Structure 1
């Protein structure tokens, strides 16, 4: 059985520094606003936002162990460790916090990488993670502006920003992010 909102907040906030909890509060607020704007379920959006970074500060050894022991995406282990917490977080949300809603679990699982054919809730939480009020990086205000007119335009700009930064740093781009970006381009072209 899933924990209450208050119990989730208490359990998750205890697992991260205050600065990261402040970020989570921003993602919660932004997810609710985006859900209301784009026809999503604000309660489900907030639940996914509460849990999106639950494993962010866990030791990498613990995340690796959970990935391997539970048959999670082993492909992740070949990529940046910053991606691991999303997959582990989705597993933990179900296993330890009783979340059974597959859309909430997918919103947690894909909030860092995106993927092709993202559902509404996935898009909302992923975009909220980019644009919550505490975020301050070059281009975030542009992404926020786009997100007021189009969920997909905002998310595409977010993925473009991430991919551009990784290219500038000569880092590997996770394939799901490229696929998510290209899928959004196709979706937006079809709307024209």
Structure 2
């Protein structure tokens, strides 16, 4: 699948606002790929495809995850965690994307994980800092990427902020998010 095909597939499935977000993530990922010497095509593909399942039914995504032999821990969570691994599984099964860097980036873009690959980290961060985001403190993360050029520091800061936010909401936190935080700390 090339970038034009990927963009079309996503545009046909997602609402305009989410499609626009996906394109901005892909474009941000390409800018980051230039800084960190990553593959720009893979970064774009992973970025544009990362939210493919964002609006899918949770039960349908859980079934996809069961069939894909992913960790059963995913089944304890809702859309915020499920849509990444479900999208990765669909990209592999239905669109024949077999590139592990792209699939891992899609799968782990919300939770992160310990020892992420370069494209995984780029998508994890690009999803957080794309120009349409106005999360409190997002400018700090943009500066870490575009001025300091420190990708691992950005991953750490995002993980820390995600955990702090989730604790403030009194919700269960996926174990990989803690592992990501600890690894990059």
Deviation at 1:11, TM superposition (A): 1.1
The question of whether the paired residues in 2 share the 8 Å contact of 1:66 and 1:88 is answered with yes
Whole-angstrom CA distance in 1 between matches of 2:123 and 2:78: 21
Residue 11 (structure 2) aligns with: 13
Write the distance in 1 (CA, Å) between the matches of 2:134 and 2:4.
28
Please identify runs of 4+ aligned residues in structure 1 that moved more than 6 A: none
- TM-score where L is the length of structure 1: 0.91
Q: What's the secondary structure of 2:13's corresponding residue?
A: coil
Q: Which residue of 2 aligns with 1:188?
A: none
Q: Aligned equivalents of 1:81 and 1:56: distance in 2? A: 7
2:21 corresponds, among 17, 20, 23, to: 23
Tell me what 1:101 maps to: 99
Report what 1:168 is aligned to: 168
Distance in 1 (CA, whole Å) between partners of 2:27 and 2:46 is 12
- Aligned position for 2:63: 65
Contact 1:8/1:97 (8 A) holds in 2: no
Matched residues in 2 for 1:120 and 1:89: separation? 19
| Aligned pairs, number | 183
- After TM superposition, the score normalised by the length of structure 2 is 0.95
Q: Could you list the per-position Cα deviations for residues 153-176 of structure 1 after superposition, in whole angstroms to 9, with x for gaps in the alignment?
A: 112111111111111111111110
| Deviates most, 43-52 or 74-83 | 74-83
Runs of at least 5 residues in structure 2 that lack an aligned partner in the other structure: none
Task: Look up the match of 2:127.
Answer: 129
Does the CA-based 8 Å contact 1:127-1:154 persist in structure 2?
Answer: yes
Q: Which runs of 5+ in 1 are unaligned?
A: 186-192
Encode CA deviations 1:111-159: one digit per residue, 9 max, x unaligned: 1111111111110010000100001111111111112211111121111
- The RMSD of aligned alpha carbons is 1.1
Please give the secondary structure, in 2, of the residue aligned with 1:14: helix
Identify which of 50, 53, 58 aligns with 1:52. Answer: 50
